[in-house]
Each structure stands twice: as C-alpha cells, then as structure tokens.
Amino acid sequence: MNNDTHPQAHSSSAADGRPAPAVPSSGTPSIPSPAAPPSGSVPTPSSARPLPLGHLADVQRRVLTTAQLREHGVSAAKAASQCRAGGPWQQLLPGVFVLHQGPPTSEERLHAALAYATRPSRDGGAPVDEAAVTGLAALALHRFSSAPPLRALEHIDMLVPRTRRLRSTGCVRVVRAHALPGTQLITGLPVAPVARAVADAVAHLTDAHAVRRILAEAVREGHCEPASLVRELSMARLLGRPQVKDAVDALLAEGRAVTEERLYEMVRCFGLPDPVWNVDLRLPGGPHLGGVDAFWPDQSVAVELDTRTPGRDDGAAGAGPLDRSRERGEWTEYARKREYLERLGITVVHLTPRKLREAMDQQAAVVRTALMASADRDPAAYVVVLPR
C-alpha cells in the first residue's frame, strides 16, 4: 500500500516509502559543534549549552527551523554555510532546514510546511499551533483514494488565520481562514476537518471528474455529512462554478439516498414495526398534506428526514439573497406542514442525517416512544395514504 495515500499513525519513516536519509551511528543527523563562548561572556541562545536531539522524533531530527537549530547550538550563519553547494544540508523553506542532501521525503515536506506556517511563541517556548494541513494533502492524510499521493503534490496547502502575515512560497500554498476549525492529529500533524479540506482542494481543481470523485467519496465513505460539505463550499463561494454545482447536485441526491438507507437500517436493526415508506398524506376529498418518509397508520406517527439543501439558511458568506430567501421559504413550508399534521393528531418525528449517522440508537428510541405514546392520545384524523 502506498503510504503517501494511506499514511499510518505510527509512521516514523518516510511517508512515500523511501528510506530515511542516512544519519550517523548515533541515530541523529550531524549537528556542528558550536565554538565555546569567551570566558565571562553571558550565554546567548546560540552560545548556551546545546540541547540534545534525543527528545525529537526521527523526522524532527531531519527537519528543523532556525530557532530550533539555535537551541541546539547552531547559529543562522552556520546553518547557511551547511547549505552551500556540496554541504550536508538544504534549506527547503525560509527558516526551515532539512539536515541531508537529496530530495526530501513526503513526510519531511509536510513537517517542513508545518514548521514554516506555525507561528513561534513570543517567549521562546513551544510554537503556537496556528496552522493545519488542508486541501489535497489533508485528504491524502484522511486516506481519500481520490486524492493524489503526497509525493505527487506540487503544493501543500496550509490553513492559517487571516490575520497571519505569511506568504506562499516553495511547496507551501497559504490558505486563509477567519478562524481555524477544529483540527485532527494524523501522524502527529494537525489536519483540517474533511469538509474544509475538500473545499480548499476543490478551489484549485478545474477537472469536473476529479471534483465529483472527491465530493462523492466524502459522503459515500462517511467522512462527513452533505450539510457540512455544502456549507464549506458555500462559504468558499464555490457553488457557482459549473463543475462544483453539477457535483453538488449529484452529492445531495446521493446524500439523500444514504440517509434513507440509514432510516431503513434503524427500523430493521432496532426492531421497530414496519411503516409504509415514502408516502403522501391527504385528507379525504381535501387538500394534500405533504409527503413523509415513513408513516405508521395505526399509531399516526410520521418520520420526516430533513435533507434540505444545507448550509445556506444560516447566513453563510457564500449565500446570496435568493439562496437565503429560498431556504427561509423551504423552512416555512416545512414548519407549516408539521404544524398542520400535528393539529390533526399525527406525531411528526424530525430526523437529520447527522442524528441518524451519529446517534441511531437514540433516534430509534425517540420513534419507539412516539409509537408507544399513541395509545394515550386522542385518535387522529383519518387521512388517505398514497405512494409518492
């Protein structure tokens, strides 16, 4: 299996399968010994006793920043001299060094990108984690088969707060956000959540087939819900692109099918009575009351899945006035239907894709309670049930 596409959490060797560069028998790269400070001088970070390298992970011994080298007794001038033609090191990014010659491994490129994008602390302590891997590199770390292997990526997208003064350079492409989302540690690296990583990847893709594959895998493999994905695409103002719009239409249809299958699974696995599926309700000789996803006629209980186009009813940055107006209209119509059905004595259980995915047992208990409570309610109005 290619470790670029499927990195392992315990990996300490090169992420692309290439063996780590040779290091001295001590197990650490060669760090030049600093000259002793003059007698009576006040130690500075570069002249203080160097820190040992043994506390660093293997890849951290091969990728160090200027500040980290200084802590280990190597001045900026000495580091620069080590990177001259024929020297043992190379400077991969501004202020970030790889302590060997030859192409850096994928793992080293990732750690170098993080080192470049991470803001050092003001007090000289541990760096402040204000960066995360995103885009295609993040999807590779999330084990997406539709993402290229890490070694094939020209750029590594790094997500940073909008207030950071950081520019894209070398293999690092800076992506800005108002605030960093909650990140997930994968192989020791902070990685953006899937929905955000997909949006950042799609922003740089023009191939409609590649966009469809990534969006479909995100939903089909359960990496994230359509709601969070469409919300991120909307906030990134990507929904107007033809290749994204077409893929999202297919995504929502697939998301609806996945949610319906989970509803079938809930009824089957938790021993609920069989309902009639996907029906329209109508008063005898009267108006159409609306469709529901499951209905138990004897108990007058209905289940409705909320799979409306998500993410634009909350004022997301990418939503236009027409989008928000449509969302409000859809919600008003939904609320009106639910209120009308309940006035007729029909209990409506509202389920979202996320609830079914993350807490199916709790949703089954809610439906079971509604079915059992029907015996204590007044009889509901008679309704005609038709397939839809």
pLDDT tens digits, one per residue of 136-187 = 999 999 999 999 999 999 999 999 999 888 999 999 999 999 888 889 999 9
Statement to judge: residues 66 and 197 lie in one domain:
yes
Q: Are residues 161 and 295 in the same domain?
A: no
Whether residue 168 is contained in a domain is answered as yes
Determine, yes or no, domain membership for 254.
Answer: no
Q: Which of 35-39, 78-82, 205-209, 218-222 shows the lowest mean pLDDT across its residues?
A: 35-39
CA distance linking residue 123 with residue 281, whole number of Å: 67
Give the pLDDT confidence score for residue 184 in this predicted structure.
Answer: 92
Q: Is residue 192 located within the same domain as residue 285?
A: no
For 195, phi then psi, to 5°, come to -60, -45
Angle in degrees, CA 259, 370, 264, rounded to 5 = 25
Residue 276 falls within a domain, yes or no? yes
Number of domain units in the chain: 2
- Statement to judge: residues 84 and 166 lie in one domain: yes
Confirm whether 236 is domain-assigned: no
pLDDT at 50 over 60: no
Beta strand pairing status for 156-161 and 172-177?
Answer: parallel
Assigned domain for 145 exists = yes
Angle CA 161–94–236, to nearest 5: 30
Domain boundary among 155, 180, 204: 204
Examine residue 13 and state whether it is found in any structural domain, yes or no. no
Note the pTM of the prediction, 2 decimals.
0.67
In the prediction, which pLDDT does 367 show?
97
Supply the range of the domain harboring residue 328. Answer: 271-387
- Identify the domain boundary among 153, 182, 204: 204
> 374 pLDDT exceeds 60?
yes
Asked whether residue 234 is assigned to any structural domain, the reply reads: no
Q: Predicted confidence band at 318 (pLDDT cuts at 50, 70, 90)? A: very low
Of the residues 173, 204, 235, the one at which a domain ends: 204
Q: Measured between alpha carbons, how far is 340 from 336 in angstroms, rounded to an integer?
A: 6
What is residue 273's predicted lDDT score, i.e. its pLDDT? 96
Q: Exposed, middle or buried, 316 (CB in 10 Å: 0-12/13-18/19+)?
A: buried
CB burial string 195-219: b at 16+ within 10 A, e below: bbbbbbbbbebeeeebbbbbbbbbb
Pair 196, 63 in one domain: yes
In this prediction, residue 337 has a pLDDT band, given cuts at 50, 70 and 90, of confident
64 and 200 housed in the same domain: yes
Q: How far apart are CA 209 and CA 243, in angstroms?
A: 8
Point out the least confidently predicted range of 70-84, 140-154, 169-183, 306-320: 306-320
Cβ of 298: how many Cβ atoms within 10 Å?
9
